[in-house]
């Protein structure tokens, strides 16, 4: 199976920046699309940004111009650069990935979620 581990969350002041990372690991696999989601207390999970294997990106309107998603295929890692953070950005941020997992005698599609990393913006 493929595991996703998020990191980079923390406590920052309004207007500050954070860079989230999501590293994929496991057996032999190929990742297609990856994305970042977030869930604030009392609210449902929402899409923040996505990036395809070809590098095409899209963002939620609430983060356009402030957040940037990028991908390092050699490291099997996706990043989310968050600038000019606002209190409403406070949430647990989750990484998602889909692709193909290769076993010794067969392969299968997969979809994985990380455990999340907390982002808190004060002031």
Task: List per-block mean pLDDT (blocks of 10 residues) for the chain, which spans 123 residues.
Answer: 94 98 89 94 95 93 97 91 98 94 90 95 92
List, for residues 17-33, the tens digit of each pLDDT value: 999 999 999 888 888 89
pLDDT of the residue at 61:
97
The pLDDT, as a whole number, for residue 4 is 94
70 contacts 35 by C-beta, under 8 angstroms: no
**pLDDT at 64 (0 to 100):** 97
Q: Do 119 and 9 form a contact (C-beta atoms < 8 A)? A: yes
Largest CA distance in the chain: 55
pLDDT at 32: 87
Rounded CA-CA distance 42/59 in Å is 22
Q: How many CB atoms lie within 10 A of CB 29?
A: 19
Three-state DSSP class for 87?
Answer: helix
pLDDT of residue 104: 87
Burial of 8 (0-12, 13-18, 19+ CB in 10 A): middle
């Amino acid at each position: 199976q493929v595991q996703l581990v998020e990191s980079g969350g923390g406590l920052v002041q309004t207007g500050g920046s954070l860079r989230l990372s999501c590293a994929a690991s496991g057996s032999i696999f190929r990742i297609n699309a990856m994305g970042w989601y977030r869930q604030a207390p009392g609210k449902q999970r929402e899409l923040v940004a996505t990036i395809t294997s070809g590098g095409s990106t899209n963002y939620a309107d609430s983060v356009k111009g402030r957040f940037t998603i990028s991908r390092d295929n050699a490291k099997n890692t996706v990043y989310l650069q968050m600038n000019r953070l606002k209190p409403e950005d406070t949430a647990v941020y989750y990484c998602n990935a889909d692709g193909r997992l290769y076993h010794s005698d067969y392969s299968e599609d997969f979809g994985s979620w990380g455990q999340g990393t907390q982002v808190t913006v004060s002031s």
